[in-house]
Amino acid sequence: MRIAILGTGRMASGLGKGWLKAGHFVAFGSRRPETKNDFHAVVGTESRVFGIEGAITAGEVVVLTVPYAETVQLAKQHAELLRGKIVIDITNPFASQPADGRAGAELTAEAIGEGASVIAAFKANFSNTLLEPIDHTGQPRDVFFAGGDEAAKQVASGLITDLGFNPVDCGSLHAATMLDLSVPMLIEMDTRLNKGRRTSSFRFSHE
């Protein structure tokens, strides 16, 4: 697939490396692509860094890996380009969780408007295990995802599988509120039970 990843930080690099390895085309979108000359050394020679619009245009799927506080504005600004694409929102609201009970990804969908196809995913997957989808027991780590568009969910699930993870369908886009809210708890559990190794080792059934 043609995947656009907006952002060039930790999550963007890990996801991009994994999808490039799986044979996908990956276009990174940066606010300052001209400063990213050494990005190829980090992510791989096949990576391409564009401006935000260039990356969105190049992708069938657009993955939002920018800070949560920037996401709605970014989605609004590029709403026209984002309509008709599958948008995977991985951003975590933490203390900025919407007060009305909605998920962060629902605000992203609202910002894109009619025709938005937004999937929430990767919220509880830490950047340092994105390239270690198999945990110490030999099982794939889970990636929770949620969304309202079944066809888009199939695509997202396939992309999660392509990284070597186990996709876990958590329901509608509104169910992503529970994903948002679970992240601080999962980080606390990871610190306490996994000795803070940021392992993303939270598994449901693999049968």
Chain contacts with ligand NAP (rule: CB under 6 A): 7-12, 30-32, 65-68, 70, 90-92, 122-123, 125-127
Compare residues 9 and 115 and give the one whose CB is closer to ligand NAP.
Answer: 9
Tell me the backbone φ, ψ of residue 163, rounded to 5 degrees: -80, -10
User: What's the min distance (Å) between Cβ of 161 and ligand NAP?
Assistant: 18
Compare residues 14 and 148 and give the one whose CB is closer to ligand NAP.
Answer: 14
From the list 26, 21, 46, 45, the residue with the least C-alpha distance to 163 is 21
Compare residues 12 and 173 and give the one whose CB is closer to ligand NAP.
Answer: 12
User: What's the min distance (Å) between Cβ of 127 and ligand NAP?
Assistant: 4
Q: Which residue is nearest to ligand NAP (CB)?
A: 9
Residues 6+ apart with CB under 8 A from 116: 82, 83, 87, 108, 109, 110
* CA 145 centroid distance within chain: 9
User: What's the min distance (Å) between Cβ of 152 and ligand NAP?
Assistant: 19
d(CA 129, CA 194): 13
Greatest Cα-to-Cα distance within the chain, rounded to the nearest angstrom: 47
Compare residues 150 and 167 and give the one whose CB is closer to ligand NAP.
Answer: 167
User: What's the min distance (Å) between Cβ of 151 and ligand NAP?
Assistant: 24
User: What's the min distance (Å) between Cβ of 55 and ligand NAP?
Assistant: 10
Compare residues 1 and 72 and give the one whose CB is closer to ligand NAP.
Answer: 72
| DSSP label at residue 139 | P
Question: Which residue, chain included where needed, has tokens 């408007």?
Answer: 113
